[in-house]
Copies of this chain bind each other. A is one copy, B any other.
Amino acid sequence: MADSAVQDVRTAGRERLVVVEDDPVTRTMLVGYFSDHNFDVVGAGSCAECRQALRVRTDLVFLDVQLPDGDGFELAKEIQAISNAGIIFVTRRDTDVDRILGLEIAGDHYVTKPINLRDLLARARSVLRRRSIDRKAARNHNSIAFGDWIIDLTRRELLGSDGKPVALTRAEFDLLAALVGADGRPLSRDYLIEVVSNRQADVDIRTVDALVARLRRKLVGSGTPVIATVTGVGYKLALSERL
């Protein structure tokens, strides 16, 4: 069985690439070339086949503008709606450039035929590299990395650099999640109380301090402090590095 829903596991490390191109010669050539460069490549000769191929995680799509069963531009919107894969247009005529420009398709490349393979490879790597960086920065998936740690918001787990989970209590986790979500903005104790406390009102402000202390004790990773106090304000996440 070639394709599987659990493909992520089996192709771990390799990036998945879909070549949408109706001309079989060109398609085979592209598939072969990128396979040789250690990509996990799938060919598609039509919009329909492309939709099929998109049903598993896809990192990048080479998209011919002229397709037998539809318009490449429409397909591009679909791809972006569904899969958050990168897109590189492959177009025959230079005039299509205007349409690509006009569309609200963000940050993707296009190349004109005849195809320069080395050029295309470079652009592909470029897009993928960007995407991998975006993924680290993105927060639309439920785990966020900060410092040496990864916090998985759905599983409510904190993972250390060794990948092992650290046991956090409910309040500890909520506090940390709030700080991570604030992305470096300091949060006041008043606010943090609301986040953390199940009991409604008038909880001692110093409770936050105690929680922070407990958290800090658990978060002693590679020396770099995780939670910073902002005197007179509250607490914030100490972001060690930034772009």
A232 within 8 A of B: yes
Contacts of A154 in B (CB 8 A): 184-185
Query: Is the beta-carbon distance between A107 and B80 smaller than 8 angstroms?
Result: no
Which A-B residue pairs are the 4 nearest by beta carbons? A107-B130, A155-B184, A101-B122, A106-B129
| Copies of this chain held together in the complex | 2
Contacts of A10 in B (CB 8 A): none
Contacts of A231 in B (CB 8 A): 169-170
Could you write out 12 A-B pairs with CB less than 8 Å apart? Answer: A84-B243, A97-B122, A104-B129, A109-B123, A137-B138, A139-B183, A154-B185, A155-B184, A155-B236, A156-B230, A156-B233, A170-B230
* Chain B residue at minimal CB-CB distance from A230: B156
Chain A residues within CB distance 8 Å of chain B = 80, 84, 97-98, 100-101, 104-110, 118-119, 121-123, 125-127, 129-131, 133-134, 137-141, 152, 154-157, 163, 169-170, 183-186, 198, 230-233, 236, 242-243
Contacts of A133 in B (CB 8 A): 106-107
CA distance A129 to B170 in the complex (A): 39
CB distance from A200 to the nearest CB of B (A): 15
Contacts A107-B133, A152-B184, A156-B230 known; 18 new A-B pairs at CB < 8 A = A80-B243, A105-B129, A106-B133, A107-B127, A108-B126, A108-B130, A109-B126, A130-B130, A134-B137, A137-B139, A139-B183, A141-B185, A154-B184, A156-B233, A156-B236, A157-B184, A163-B242, A170-B230
Contacts of A105 in B (CB 8 A): 129
Contacts of A84 in B (CB 8 A): 243
CB distance from A59 to the nearest CB of B (A): 13
Contacts of A163 in B (CB 8 A): 242
Contacts of A107 in B (CB 8 A): 107, 126-127, 129-131, 133-134
* Chain B residue at minimal CB-CB distance from A243: B84
Given contacts A80-B243, A129-B104, contact A155 B122 (CB under 8 A): no
Query: Is the beta-carbon distance between A155 and B232 smaller than 8 angstroms?
Result: no
CB distance from A17 to the nearest CB of B (A): 16
CB distance from A169 to the nearest CB of B (A): 7
